[in-house]
Structure 1
Amino acid sequence: MTDERTINAYSTRVADYLQVPLPPEQIEARMAFAEAVGTGHILDLGSGPGSDSAFFMREGLTVRALDATPAFVEHARENGVDAHLGTFEDVTEKAEYDGIYASFSLLHAPRAEFPRHLAAIHRALKPGGIFFLGLKLGTGEHRDDLDRYYTYFSQTEIEEAMAHADFTIDRITTGMGTGLAGSYDGFILVLAHA
């Protein structure tokens, strides 16, 4: 499922999105992901305008970026990122990637689809491949002040879903931060391997 209202919210706010500062926990977790992968080919799943992809490229990784917002894909391409228009449904590879980075993207998928997306990510990773997952903590599914669709999870729900998808969690970091809508939300950053 692709939520047009969410895509529209992002399409009109590319410049604003680029100005949102990453919390220190996320900067550190992004580096930890790059170090865990080391070298190789990664997928930036829900890559936004490509800022993380560009960071990983500077770290020597080969990056394929995937996002459902055309304006984000265009911005990423203009900045040298191998960006493609697509959704979570387009993760169909088998043992292709050394790492998959899903930073606050899977929270836009309905809760019922979360296990299926995790299974597809696991299949797309090489054995032992690294997976980074960033989500907002909370309960329920609703729209934020920018009309974006969100699914919120508890840490326990995430841990159980990851275990069910055969991921081994290596590290969990939690924190608080302000996103594009200006709300101050709890988040969770999970580093795991297939």
Structure 2
Amino acid sequence: MTNDDPTSSFYNDNAAVYATRERNLPRNRLDAFLAALPAGASILELGCGGGQDAAYMISCGFDVTPTDGSTELAKQAEALIGKPVQILRFETLDIEDAHDGIWAEASLLHVPRAALPDILDRTHRALKDNGIFHATFKAGEAEGHDTFGRYYNYPSATWLTAILGNGGWRDIKMTEADGGGFDGKPTKWLYVKARK
């Protein structure tokens, strides 16, 4: 997210409602991600939202560093998981070889298309060798906004695979599934797995 856009405003202004909404935990994706990591592995979560995924990963014995770009959402997540949430904007991620896994469930979909290669490079650098990356995106062919004014990059699987491949990612796997979102509209989702 950029600092001055309606996407950031939405999450800050609606943090309590968004964080406490009825949401099905993505158990299958979480379990598959965690199964690919060593026990107790270090995980960076990009965009923790209300903190439900972080809480689950922590309960499974993993060393999770939850982050979010929204100060208000971070407060909601802290209340749930009982540990600090780092305020982090994707474009300021600047660590190297620090984590075994990175979990970015429905967060990088807000990165402007032009900035996505840089953010994915930053993500790549933050992982240890052979580290595992998970992300989900709303699929499409062109960037746009939803009814709440939130920006989405809406990538196609082909477009996103090319960016990841050019960025040095290995073992790229991409699946598509129908689902929904906070706006209640039918959504085609892209589930991305890759390795450093």
The residue aligned with 2:31 is: 31
Structure 2 unaligned spans of 5+: none
Provide the secondary structure at the position in 1 that maps to 2:30.
helix
Deviations 1:33-80 (A, max 9, x none): 111123311110011121111111011111111111111100111221
The aligned counterpart of 2:104 is 102
Runs of 4+ in 1 over 6 A off after TM superposition: none
Per-residue deviation at 1:2?
Answer: 2.8
| Counterpart residue identity of residue 37, structure 1 | L
Kept after mapping to 2: 8 A contact 1:107/1:150? yes
1:37 match: secondary structure: coil
Alignment of 1:1-194 (within 5 A): 1-17=2-18, 18-22=20-24, 26-38=26-38, 39-79=40-80, 80-194=82-196
- Partner of 1:159, secondary structure, is helix
Percent identity of equivalent pairs: 31
Which amino acid in 2 is paired with 1:36? A
Question: Is the contact made by 1:130 and 1:192 (CA closer than 8 Å) also made in structure 2?
Answer: yes
Change in 2 beyond 3 A, CA 1:54/1:177: same
| CA 1:29–1:64: 2 relative to 1, 3 Å | same
Q: Which runs of 5+ in 1 are unaligned?
A: none
Shift of 1:116: 0.6
2:159 maps to amino acid: E
**TM-score under structure 2 length normalisation:** 0.91
Task: Name the TM-score, length of structure 1 as normaliser.
Answer: 0.92
Looking at structure 1, the residues matched to 37 and 4 of structure 2 have their Cα atoms a distance apart, in angstroms, of 31
Aligned-partner residue type, residue 100 of structure 2: D
- Report the RMSD for the aligned CA atoms in angstroms: 1.6
Letter matched to residue 33 of structure 1: F
Q: Distance in 1 between matches of 2:4 and 2:66?
A: 19
